[in-house]
Amino acid sequence: MDVLALLKSASLLVPEETASENDVTVNDVWEYLARDEWETALGLLEELGDVRSLPAAFWASMAAAAEELRLERSAAWCHWREGEALHGVIRADLTLRAPSDGGRRLPVPGAGVLRPMWDIGHRTPTGEPAYAVARLWVEDLPALEPGGRAPVRLAPLTPERWRHLRPGHVITLHETGRVGGAAVLLEAGLPG
């Protein structure tokens, strides 16, 4: 499918009254599409997707368009958001431990490639933490530096194990036996 058709398809799924903080609307997107400014239209549609919850089909069309345009990070982001549309959203404010306190020495990649373990409150029969795995996306940054803090999104491998969590809960990140960071949940909207 061609990029123009994919972007048109996505734009038709945005309610007409939707407007971003900068007063961008779907009509603005159509103007850029008419001028074949596809990358700008894609960026504006991503912005509109942050205003309200849009269906998985919107994000799937966006991901396909970004792939056609060879915009890897944008394609990965749209696939991420497609997953959230299907499986729910978990957002948190993550603070990594500093290397001097035993934290990681390399930045956390921002685009959903890291799959750390999380202590989300479950226990084994012997009382040890029963960790859950979730991919991690750092919002608005290409990477999170050691000891840094940023809002993140989590994509659990087993979403049903995360349904008990609510905003304000604190969960801990583990890449080894030690705590690598702590996150305060900002949003926990999993279906079911």
Query: How many Å apart are CA 49 and CA 78, to the nearest integer?
Result: 10
Q: Could you tell me the residue range of the domain that residue 76 belongs to?
A: 3-87
Cα–Cα distance list, 136 to 29, 108, 123 (Å): 30, 9, 22
User: Which of the listed residues 87, 114, 133 is the one where a domain comes to its end?
Assistant: 87
d(CA 111, CA 40) in angstroms, rounded, equals 21
Exposure string (b/e) for 65-82, b if CB count within 10 Å is 16 or more?
Answer: bbbbbebeebbbbbbbbb
Pair (40, 78) in one structural domain: yes
Q: Are residues 123 and 179 in the same domain?
A: yes
Q: What's residue 150's pLDDT?
A: 98
Confidence class for position 192, pLDDT limits 50, 70, 90: low
Are 12 and 77 members of one domain?
Answer: yes
Tokens of 22: 């900068």
42, 75: one domain: yes
Q: How confident is the model at residue 155 (pLDDT cuts 50, 70, 90)?
A: very high
User: Residue 125 carries which side chain, given as an amino acid letter?
Assistant: P
Contact 192, 160 (CB under 8 A): yes
pTM (2 d.p.) = 0.90
Whether residues 71 and 8 fall in one domain: yes
Q: What are the φ and ψ backbone dihedral angles of 39, each rounded to 5 degrees?
A: -65, -40
pLDDT digits (tens, 9 = 90+) for 78-119: 999 999 999 999 999 999 999 999 899 999 999 999 999 999
Counting the structural domains of the chain, the total is: 2
Mark which of 87, 108, 141 sits at the end of a domain: 87
- Cβ pair 62, 45 in contact under 8 A: yes
Give backbone dihedrals phi and psi of 151, rounded to 5 degrees, phi first. -70, 140
Does 93 share its domain with 32?
no
Residue 191 in this model has a pLDDT that exceeds 80: no
Rounded CA separation 122/147 (Å): 26
Residue finishing a domain among 87, 118, 136: 87
Mind giving me the DSSP string for 109-149? ESEEEE--EEE-S-B-TTS-B--EEEEEEETTSSEE-TT-E
Give one DSSP letter per residue of 75-103, joined into a string.
HHHHHHHHHHHHH-EEEEEEEEPPGGGT-
Answer yes or no: do 55 and 116 share one domain: no
Per-residue model confidence as pLDDT tens digits over 15-45: 999 999 889 999 999 999 999 999 999 999 9
